[in-house]
Structure 1
Amino acid sequence: MTRNPDWTRDELILALELFIRSGHKQLKASHPDVVELSKQLNQLPIHDHVLRNSDFRNPKGVSMKLGNFLSIDPSYVGIGLQRGGKQDREVWDEFANNIYKLYQTADSIRKSAAQITESSTDYSFDSEDEEFPEGKLLTQIHKRKERNRKAVEQKKQKVLEETGKLVCEVCEFDFAERYGPLGYGYAECHHTIPVFQLTEEHRTRLADLAIVCANCHRMIHHSRPMLSITELRVLVEQHNPKA
C-alpha cells in the first residue's frame, strides 16, 4: 500500500486553526471537532481519490497532526509529536501569530471548497504550480479571477477611455509608449483583494483589478507576504529614485 499524499498548506491551515481554537491542545481522535475536521479534509477537492488510502486524513491522523503542532508551539512545556513535515513549521511561522489571517484563510478555504464541490468547477492542483502561503485552493481562485477575460477587458477598456493609455500602476511602464501600436491596449491585471479573503463566489469588480506590467505582476506574486500595489510602488521608488 502506498503512502497517503503529503499534507498541503490548505490542510495544515485548517489543522492549525483547530489547534489554536482548541487552546493549543492535541485533541483526541474521538473529539467531535477532530472528527469534523477529518470530514472537511476528505471533502477538499485537492487530492485525487485514487491516491488516497482508506485511512486518508482519518481522525487519528488529524489528532497526530495537532500533536505535530504541539511540538512546534513554544508555549508548550513538553515534546509533542516531533515527526511532522517541513511545511508544519512554515505554516506555523506564517499564521500562528496572526490569528485574524489564520481564521479568515481557513474560513475562505472551507467556503470555497464547498462551492467548488457543488459547482463541479474544473480546477487544476498541479504540484508544480506556483503556490501562495494561503494554499493551493485560494491560489487557484486568485489566478482564475485574474484570467477572467471579460472582467480584464472591461477594466482595460475603462482605463483607456478615461486616460487614453494603459500605464502600470506600480512602475508606470507604458507598452504603447515603448512598442508603439503593437503595445497599445496591452497590459495585465492584478486582483487586489487579499488572497486570504477570497472565495469562489466572490464576484470581481473592476475596482478590484489593477493595471500592471508583466514584471511588476510577477514581483507581486513572488513576494511573501504578497505586496500590495502601493507597497511594491514604494519599493520600486526606493531602489529607483527619480532624478
Structure 2
Amino acid sequence: MDHKSPPPTRNPNWVRDELILALDMYMQNPRSPPGKSSPEVRELSNQLNQLNAMLGRTGGQDFRNPNGVYMKVMNFRRFDPSFASLGKSGLRHGGAEEEDVWNEFASDPKQLAATAQAIRSALSQSAQIVVSAEFDDVEEAQEGRLLAVLHYRRERSRKLVKARIKRAIEETGELRCEACDMSFSERYGEWGDRFMEVHHTRPLHTLEEGRVTPLAELALVCSNCHRMIHRRRQWLTVAELVSIITQAKRQAKI
C-alpha cells in the first residue's frame, strides 16, 4: 500500500508588521537593495521568523526564507515612481496590503524608520512574549499587530490603571471620561465607583519596550470611547474623538 506524503504546509500571507520591515529595508537603498544572499536579507529573514513565532504563525520549510524575503522586498518597486521613471518595473506578484503599506509609509521615511525600529526593539526585548488568544480580537494598528498587542498590554497593567485613577481622584475627586465626560459612579452608583479604563496616548512607534510610562501619557476613558478610539486601523486621538462626539451632538440637534 502506497503511503502518500502529506501536502506541503502553505505559508501564510504576509502581515503588516512584516511588510513594514521589508519596506524599511527597501527604502534604505531603493536603487540597489541588498541581494538575496546578503547578510541584511538573512537577518531580516530571521527577524520575520521570530516575529511570526511571537504571533503564533507557522509555515512550511521555506517559510520566510531569504529568497522569499528578497522577492517581497523587491515587490515594492512596482509602486516606486522613481524606479518607474526609468522605464522599469518591479516584481508584479504581491498582495493588496503591500500597496496600503507603501501609501502610508513611503512618503514619511522618518515614521517608517521609527516604526520598523520599534518592531525590531520589541523583537529583541520581548522575545519571551507570545501573542496569546486573548488578543485575537485586537484591531490591528497602522504600525502592525505586535506593537498593537504590546500597547494593549500596557493599557491593561493593573498597576498603571490604579495609579492613574488614584491621581485623578486626588486632583478632581472624581473619575470622568476625558472624551465624553461619562462617570461610571453616576450611572451605576456604588457598583461603578472608582472604575475607568485608560488609554495610552503616545504613538506606538515612539514606545520602547522597558520604558517607564508616565501617568501623564494615560488618558481616562470609558469603555465605549476606548473601543471607538481603537475601532479602525488609524486609531483616533482623544482630541479627535472629542471632536467626533461634539459634531454628532450638533447633528442630533438639527
Task: Tell me the TM-score normalized by structure 1.
Answer: 0.89
Aligned residue in 1 for 2:105: 95
Is 1:46 matched with 2:54? yes
Is 1:15 matched with 2:25? no
Aligned residue in 1 for 2:121: 111
The structural deviation recorded for 1:226 is 1.8
The structural deviation recorded for 1:97 is 1.4
Cα separation, partners in 2 of 1:48 and 1:213, compared to 1, 3 Å: closer
Of 208, 211, 230, 1:202 maps to 211
* Secondary structure of the corresponding residue to residue 81 of structure 2: coil
Aligned residue in 2 for 1:235: 244
The structural deviation recorded for 1:159 is 0.6
The structural deviation recorded for 1:58 is 1.6
Separation in 1, partners of 2:129, 2:89:
43
Q: Is the CA contact (8 Å cut-off) linking 1:108 and 1:196 kept in structure 2?
A: yes
Q: Is the CA contact (8 Å cut-off) linking 1:27 and 1:66 kept in structure 2?
A: no
Cα separation, partners in 2 of 1:86 and 1:175, compared to 1, 3 Å: same
State the Cα RMSD in Å.
2.2
Is 1:149 matched with 2:158? yes
Aligned residue in 2 for 1:82: 92
Cα separation, partners in 2 of 1:164 and 1:195, compared to 1, 3 Å: same
Identical-residue share of aligned pairs (%): 45
1:26-63 deviations in Å (ceiling 9; x for gaps): 542123322221222223243547x3322221221111
* Secondary structure of the corresponding residue to residue 82 of structure 2: coil
Q: Is the CA contact (8 Å cut-off) linking 1:24 and 1:70 kept in structure 2?
A: no
Is 1:131 matched with 2:140? yes
The letter of the residue matching 1:85 is G
Aligned residue in 2 for 1:168: 177
Aligned residue in 1 for 2:231: 222
Of 42, 58, 68, 1:61 maps to 68
* Secondary structure of the corresponding residue to residue 219 of structure 2: strand
1:115-149 deviations in Å (ceiling 9; x for gaps): 111xx234327665421121121011000000001
Q: Is the CA contact (8 Å cut-off) linking 1:134 and 1:196 kept in structure 2?
A: yes
Report the more deviating stretch, 176-185 or 97-106: 176-185
Aligned residue in 1 for 2:5: none
The structural deviation recorded for 1:223 is 4.1
The letter of the residue matching 2:218 is L
Alignment coverage as a number of residue pairs:
240
Is 1:180 matched with 2:189? yes
Q: Is the CA contact (8 Å cut-off) linking 2:179 and 2:239 kept in structure 1?
A: yes
Cα separation, partners in 2 of 1:180 and 1:228, compared to 1, 3 Å: same
User: Larger Cα Rg: Structure 1 or Structure 2?
Assistant: 2
Cα separation, partners in 2 of 1:57 and 1:224, compared to 1, 3 Å: closer
The letter of the residue matching 1:235 is I
